[in-house]
Amino acid sequence: MTGYILLAALVLLQVADVKTTNDVISRGGRELNPVVKAFMKIFGKAWEWVKSAVVIALGVFLLYLQTTISLVVLAGLVLLYAWVVWHNYNQ
């Protein structure tokens, strides 16, 4: 059950990350993550879908493993993206 809650949180945080990232960029900010910056360059506007799909797929894989360490890593991703959204929001 915990894993599914973490995965749902990760999905919601992807939506929030894309929204807040686009808001920052529209105000003249820039993407700091080099991987996401490369996605933006390669995929154009579709970067949002590609980035979110990669992160969510990783979350699904971690949930599928059902090990303690995979759930800890999933929780870590949730915390990381919560911080990213908070950081973007406060820009």
Please tell me the pTM assigned to this model.
0.92
- Containing domain of residue 26, as a range? 2-89
Averaged confidence pLDDT in the chain: 96
Instruction: Please count the structural domains in the chain.
Output: 1
pLDDT of residue 18 exceeding 90, the answer is yes
Count of alpha carbons within 13 Å of 56, Cβ hemisphere only?
A: 14
Residue 55 banded pLDDT, cuts 50, 70, 90? very high
- Position 1 scores a pLDDT of 83
Nearest to 23 by CA among 79, 80, 85: 85
